[in-house]
Structure 1
Amino acid sequence: MTLLRLVPLVLMAALACGLLWKTLPARTSPVAGPDPIAELIAAEIGGMTQWLLIRGADRDAPILLWLHGGPGAAQMPAHGLTAALERDFVVVHWDQRGAGKSNPPSFDPATMTLERFLMDAREVTAILRERVGRQPLFVFGHSWGTMLGARLMARWPGEYAGYIGVSQQVDTLRGAALTRDWLQEVAPSDLARLDPQAFRDHDLYVRLMQEVEAQGGGMDVSLVSMMPRALAAPEYRLPDYWRWLDGANRGSGPMWDEYLVRDLIAEVPVMPVPMLLISGAQDWNTPVELVREWFAAVEAPQGKRMEVFDQSGHAPFLTETARFVDTVRGFAAEIEEIPE
């Protein structure tokens, strides 16, 4: 048999092995370090089973609770992209209700309310205190996760050491207006000429964000380019990927009415914990101009800082990863050095 004829057989065998591996029980790989922790756990949170991934080189290091975006776009299968954080933190990836491993076939999207997510986050905090320890706990939010995270800080500041907001969500319709103005300049179309109030319609808003992505104002990293790392994640099995896609496609739809009335400038005028905001200069999903407006307005007696990553869009941790890790590490180190 010629080498050329062997190639399809080898590829088929590799695919079969990959599919077989993905049917084995989920796990997480070990972490190297002085006192490592590497756990994938299912917990009862808010009346349903939700999943947590806890990883760090030193279980006594500060905890970094990652609130993913979407809602529904769980970060867990791509956690390896920011694994460098595990050297300095116990990093916790939580598949929120309706996302990834926490999106069972029986899931009821009607339970997706901001208040329910806040209560879930409080339960996650309690689990981490019991399972990991009482060390400083930082909350990291991305996109939708910032809508949740900023309000979590404002309501229960005593539980947390600091807040890191990446691609901070401020005001959905005002953001859509800025995005539409940008599109009018870079890609004039019927969509770009709509009155901003038209984007109260969720389908139109989704179309707007799709156009933003097409014009380079979104993630800057395609889903296809992230697939190899995500497919290699031992924490996810075959059904989990369908659950991930289902949750990501559902997105903010069940919460849309709530999205439209939320205004961070009015709701969180004071940030009671130290705060770091990171935005991508090319992000037109959560426009930097609006983030700067909230940053300028919010009172932050414990200190606030904002950094704009010039080469990034909506996900600076994927496009400028080394700078992102250094920035987060430096922020936490500064807080730990402040005497109580």
Structure 2
Amino acid sequence: MERSTRRILAGAGVGLPIVALGARLWASQGSTPRLRDEGGRPLSEGIATLEQVRLGGVDQWLLMRGRSIHNPLLLYLSGGPGGSEMAWVRHFNAPLEDHFLVVHWDQRGAAKSYAALKDRDGLTVDQFVSDASELLELLTSRFSQEKVFVVGHSWGSILGVLLAQRRPERIHAYVGTGQQVNFLENDTVSHLHAYELAMRYGDNKALALLARIGPPPYTGPDLARRYMTLVSLASRHAGRGGLFPEMLSSMLKAPEYSLRDKVHFFLGLKETFPRVYPRLAGLDLEAQVPRLEVPVWFLLGREDYVTPSEIAVRYFDGLEAPRKTLLWFEHSGHSPQFEEPGRFNAILTQQVRTAAEARPEALPH
């Protein structure tokens, strides 16, 4: 009896520190490394911070990094809904921090802002855009700048266009990549491409999965699983292959995500996406946003079959804007910023930023 008690106590003695460590890791908010010069000294004008802010009545998280707080603001809008690309932007697009004050926002329900899911009534497209509008005011006021560059990816490209329509006076330029345009047409054409790719490569497993999930639009309790399966199949033979392990690794290693955030990274998509996705049923930017009052850049993957580029091109051709530029990424699918990051970063720093700073009469039309 005494031996058993000693074994239990010994086990507890080992287990309690582990439990305590796990609790500390779970309660951690994460951190981001300081920016330093070539000699390893912290940059006096730099910023590297994770902050919680109040947007739309709920707490949400920002990552802000830049070698100078006087550099132009760049707001990155992640794909989703419920997705966080904070770790990937840090991993693939860190050079942007030399030229911009880069702000990554975990939207309500995503990773670090997962707790905002408690406000279920706030999971509307209009509320997300309203949150983004508040964020523009917060950033321009804090850093004494009039305007912000906005980059939107996938779901974030919907928010980006709607934000540019609502707040043109606060936006230098809008940059869309993985640009979504029309909810129903997008998913229908994506399904067709996935089928064509499976047939071209003799991918019987993909064909079986496509038959199992059926054609969009998706409804019901398993809509998130069916949609994510479609995304996977539409990306299967497109763009830069073998990127997933690097993306997963960078997410798991990111110091900006605590242990809790890494769990919420997956739960955020699982729980937020099915609540917002059905609200996109009537989305058609061609009809709803035929004109923008800001310069527009579309950076499109030639092999983007998730948000099919041919739809984005049609929208771009008909869109009225002061200036607009479309550039192709020949070796990319849905995410040129991660598949061809060097070129993506160079375009933003050498072309987009420069164009916004040039005199209007010096710009090409």
Common fold by TM > 0.5:
yes
Aligned to 2:45: 35
> What 5-or-longer segments of structure 1 have no aligned partner?
1-14
Q: Which of the numbers 48, 52, 69 marks the counterpart of 1:59?
A: 69
- Give percent identity, aligned residues only: 32
Residue 148 of structure 1 and its aligned partner are, at CA, apart by 0.5
Q: Does 1:72 align with 2:72?
A: no
Which residue number corresponds to residue 212 of structure 1?
A: 234
What's the offset of the Cα at 1:220? 4.7
1:269: how far off?
0.3
Compute the displacement of 1:22 (Å).
4.8
Displacement of 1:130 in angstroms is: 2.6
Q: Comparing 129-138 with 270-279, which one deviates more in the overlay?
A: 129-138
Question: How far apart are 1:178 and its partner, in Å?
Answer: 2.0
Task: Indicate yes or no: 2:279 matched with 1:258.
Answer: yes
- Which is further off, 308-317 or 174-183? 174-183
Kindly provide the CA deviation profile for residues 303-327 of structure 1, in whole angstroms up to 9, marking residues without a partner as x: 0001110101111111111100011
The one of 210, 213, 216 equivalent to 1:199 is 216
| Counterpart in the other structure of 1:6 | none
Match of 1:277 in 2: 298
Question: Residue by residue, what CA displacement relative to the aligned partner does 1:103-141 show, whole Å, maximum 9, x if unpaired?
Answer: 028624442111100110111112112322215311110
Q: Find 2:318's aligned residue among 287, 291, 297.
A: 297
Q: Say if 1:181 and 1:26 are closer, same or farther in 2 by CA, change over 3 A.
A: closer
Contact 1:280 1:311 (C-alpha < 8 Å) held by counterparts: yes
The 8 Å contact of residues 141 and 166 in structure 1, kept in 2 or not, is answered as yes
Provide the secondary structure at the position in 2 that maps to 1:200: coil
Q: In 2, distance between residues paired with 1:97 and 1:180?
A: 28
Partner of 2:4: none
Match of 1:94 in 2: 105
> SS at 2:49's partner residue?
strand
The 3-state SS of whatever aligns with 1:124 is: helix
Shift of 1:25: 5.0
Structure 2 Cα separation of the partners of residues 172 and 231 of structure 1: 31
Decide which moves more: 125-134 or 248-257.
248-257
Post-superposition shift, 1:177?
Answer: 2.6
Pick from 312, 322, 327: which aligns with 2:332?
312
Structure 1 stretch displaced more, 63-72 or 226-235: 226-235
Say if 2:83 and 2:110, in contact at 8 Å, map to a contact too: yes
Letter of the aligned partner of 1:172 in structure 2?
A: F
Q: Which amino acid aligns with 1:321?
A: P
Moved more, 291-300 or 29-38: 29-38
The CA deviation at 1:167 is 0.7
Q: Amino acid of the residue matched to residue 225 of structure 1?
A: E
Q: CA RMSD in A?
A: 2.7
Deviation of 1:30 (Å): 1.1
Q: CA, structure 1 residues 180+105, in 2 after alignment: closer, same or farther (shift >3 Å)?
A: closer
Counterpart residue type for residue 228 of structure 1:
S
Please name the residue that 1:228 is paired with: 249
Q: CA deviation at 1:194?
A: 10
1:171 aligns with 2:182: yes
Is the contact made by 1:212 and 1:218 (CA closer than 8 Å) also made in structure 2? no
Q: Which runs of 5+ in 2 are unaligned?
A: 1-17, 37-42, 200-206
Aligned residue pair count: 322
Q: Deviations over 1:213-261 (max 9, x none)?
A: 3x23478564432233223322211101111111122353112232121
Q: How does 1:99-248 map to 2 (within 5 A)?
A: 99-104=110-115, 107-188=118-199, 189=207, 198-202=215-219, 203=223, 204-213=226-235, 215-217=236-238, 220=241, 222-248=243-269
* Map of 1:12 onto structure 2: none
CA gap of 1:225–1:19, structure 2 versus 1, over 3 A, is: farther
Q: TM-score, normalised by structure 2?
A: 0.81
TM-score (norm: length of structure 1): 0.86
CA distance in structure 2 between the partners assigned to 1:158 and 1:179 by the alignment: 34
Give the structure with higher Rg (CA).
2
The one-letter code matched in structure 1 to 2:308 is P
Paired residues of 1:60 and 1:135 also in contact (CA < 8 A) = no
The aligned amino acid for 1:62 is P
- The 1:190–1:245 alpha-carbon spacing in structure 2 relative to 1, beyond 3 Å, is closer
Q: 1:184 to 1:234 in 2, by over 3 A?
A: closer
Evaluate the alpha carbon distance shift between residue 247 and residue 218 of structure 1 in structure 2; reply closer, same or farther with a 3 A threshold.
farther
The question of whether the paired residues in 2 share the 8 Å contact of 1:171 and 1:263 is answered with yes
Aligned residue identity for 1:280 = G
Structure-1 separation of matches of 2:258 and 2:316: 40
- Give 1:310's aligned amino acid: E
